[in-house]
Structure 1
Amino acid sequence: MQKKSTPEMLETFFTGGLFATPENEETELMEAISCKLIEFACILGTVAVDARFAREAMGTSEVFPVSEIAADYGCSAQAFNKLLRDQGIQYKRGRRWYLYDRYQGHGYTATRLTARDTGGRVRTFSSMQWTVRGRCFLYNFLREQGIHPTAQKGEQP
């Protein structure tokens, strides 16, 4: 049995299926129910998009804080962020780091939202985190510059 999309199911219901309106005094009621079902389907579609955005914004297990990547290179998150700035990969505006335009849109980073209680008031903060693709990009980019993770330093000539 093939799974139908929501619009296909609604069309089946309204045109000859479950919600075909009878030719009697219930027609008006059935039309109202049909309109409400269409309205509900539209709302459900919007909620599904919002839910997908929320899942992505709240984070997945496939992103890494800069501190985790920095540890691979034997330095602090601050030092690693400055290294990436010096290499022309990112810049800082206010308290946040951003990728330069040439590196945006490649899936290297994701934004993670974090809720924190600050003096009895819950505030949401966003931070840039690196994806698996971004981590591989950093590894390859830094390797080309002669910068290697600490585990590999002994292996280099």
Structure 2
Amino acid sequence: MQKKSTTELLETFLSGGLFTVPENQKLSKDEALALGLIEIACAISLMAADAQFAREALGSCGVFPVSEIAGDYGYSAQAFNKLLCDQGIQYKRGRRWYLYDCYQGLGYTATRLTTREAGGRTRAFSGMQWTVKGRRFLYDHLRAQGIVPTAGRKEQP
């Protein structure tokens, strides 16, 4: 096997190349260090991708309409809102849903302002949307009640 420098090994790794060391071949300290660095570089690249996902998911702009979450459970938005009402999470006043006091201020929801054409005028409407933290809360709460997303349900024969 031709010896490669640390730089060459890292370039091989980063370009997607594969390299192996025969089991019976002893590595010098420099070669062992180089392979250790490559393992660390691999771990860092995996963690960087996970960290990027977490930043995007937990960012303040990560909100979901109830219809999207309801779809995960096989419900319509209206039926899912009723389910959350029955679970004591939210209540309806007028045409809007609100969280009960014990769930307010925990970062589960955000209010989003949208505009629509109504009666020839552009009107602004506010609505509650669920954050990533709120979506996780719903998942944990509903799972404790035996309600799981449709993807998590076992197929029944």
SS in 2 for 1:146: coil
Give the letter aligned to residue 146 of structure 1: G
1:75 deviation in Å? 0.8
Residues 54-111 of structure 1 deviation map (CA, whole Å, 9 limit, x = unaligned): xxxxxx6400000000000001000000000000000000000000000001000000
1:117 deviation in Å? 1.1
Q: Percent identity?
A: 76
1:78 corresponds to which residue?
A: 78
Deviating runs (4+, > 6 A) in structure 1?
none
1:155 deviation in Å? 7.3
Mapped partners of 1:155, 1:85: distance in 2: 28
Unpaired segments of 5 or more residues in structure 2?
1-59
Q: How does 1:52-91 map onto structure 2 within 5 Å?
A: 61-91=61-91
TM-score by length of 2: 0.60
CA RMSD of aligned residues (A): 1.5
2:116 corresponds to which residue?
A: 116
- Alignment pair present for 1:102 and 2:64: no
TM-score by length of 1: 0.60
1:142 deviation in Å? 0.2
Count of residues paired in the alignment: 97
Unpaired segments of 5 or more residues in structure 1?
1-59
